[in-house]
Amino acid sequence: DLWNLETRKPLLECNPLNAMVLKYMTLKKTNLCVAVDETNKEKILQTIQSIGGYVCAIKLHADIIDDFDQSFIDELTTLSKHHQFVIFADRKLADTGNTVELQLTHGSLHIADWANVVTVHSVPGPPILQSVLNIIKQNKALKGSLLIASLSSKGALTDAEYSKKSLEMANDAKNVVSGFICQKRPSDNPEFLYWTPGVNELKSTDGLGQQWRSIEDAIKRDGNDIIIVGRAITQSQNPVEVARDYASRAFELWKSR
């Protein structure tokens, strides 16, 4: 059974980013990634400080942080080492190769210097992955990328054909692509990790097109490995307890699959 963790582990560990993710997942018994979509660095750091023990990754949208600066990066990096999680920049890159290289290394965000993994849209085609690889080779914090096979928003244009083509792109670039952002696992290839947003146990939509489903559907029915959870945790009454609960439920479901 290729989905058995012990059988699958050596396959995943060939990829430097997945080796890191898997180490934290098995050590901390969690396949939870929390999306901390706050706009103030102190608030973000406080949230990470409190839930950091229950996650394998922390996902950020750096471009929504009002006071993003080097001290934020330094504290984030310290927290990631202390709590042992991967730093995930959800930049959703989608441009021509040269521009993508500049977006990863320059500007006020210079993502490749602090993020271990970044999201990439497949819409520009294979050259985008070559550019991400060029930056990964520079030995910065960035170790891998997740290709967006499908989006969770209502009416997304990422249909089955799009997901299939994204998979073909990833198969030709396994040294760059560690896995996917997807709703349903687009492949049975156990060498990739499948990360899924759109998870909330209490609500099914936010009124702005987001589509949420349960942890069980995300992992068992849809075949994903890692759940990405935002507001269900960060806007709950007790983020620490909810994070602990989501992490333990998701991990049990993943192990038993």
Selected catalytic residue, list 92, 140, 174, 220: 92
Judge whether 143 counts as a catalytic residue. no
Among 115, 197, 226, 247, binds ligand UP6 (CB under 6 A): 197
CA distance 228 to 197: 5
In the chain the beta strands, taken as DSSP E runs, fall at 32-35, 57-60, 86-93, 117-121, 144-148, 177-181, 193-196, 226-229
What residues form the annotated binding site for substrate? 37, 59, 152, 210, 230-231
Q: Which residue has the tokens 């980013």?
A: 17
By the rule CB under 6 A, 144 interacts with ligand UP6: no
Judge whether 1 counts as a catalytic residue. no
For residue 145, what are the CA distances in angstroms to 8, 64, 91, 209, 220? 20, 20, 10, 25, 24
Minimum CB separation of residue 95 from ligand UP6 in Å reads: 18
Judge whether 95 counts as a catalytic residue. yes
Minimum CB separation of residue 72 from ligand UP6 in Å reads: 18
Among 57, 73, 112, 151, binds ligand UP6 (CB under 6 A): 151
Minimum CB separation of residue 199 from ligand UP6 in Å reads: 6
Among 34, 35, 169, 215, binds ligand UP6 (CB under 6 A): 35
Site string for ligand UP6, 211-240 (x = CB under 6 A): -----------------xxxxx--------
The neighbouring-strand residues paired with 86 are 57
CA distance 13 to 23: 9
Length of the chain measured in residues: 257
Reference 187, options 167, 169, 204, 201; nearest CA is 167
Question: Given the complex with ligand UP6, which of 50 and 71 has the nearer CB atom?
Answer: 50
Reference 131, options 145, 150, 151, 113; nearest CA is 145
By the rule CB under 6 A, 181 interacts with ligand UP6: yes
By the rule CB under 6 A, 22 interacts with ligand UP6: no
- Footprint (CB under 6 A) of ligand UP6, residues 62-101: 90
Among 124, 144, 198, 239, binds ligand UP6 (CB under 6 A): 198
Three-class HEC string of 179-199: EEECCCCCCCCCCCEEEECCE
3-state secondary structure of 177: strand
By the rule CB under 6 A, 210 interacts with ligand UP6: yes
By the rule CB under 6 A, 163 interacts with ligand UP6: no
Q: By CB under 6 A, how many residues form the interface with ligand UP6? A: 15
Minimum CB separation of residue 148 from ligand UP6 in Å reads: 7
Q: Are 56 and 26 in contact (CB under 8 A)?
A: no
* Binding interface with ligand UP6 (CB under 6 A): 35, 37, 61, 90, 151-152, 181, 197-198, 210, 228-232
- Active centre residues (catalytic): 90, 92, 95
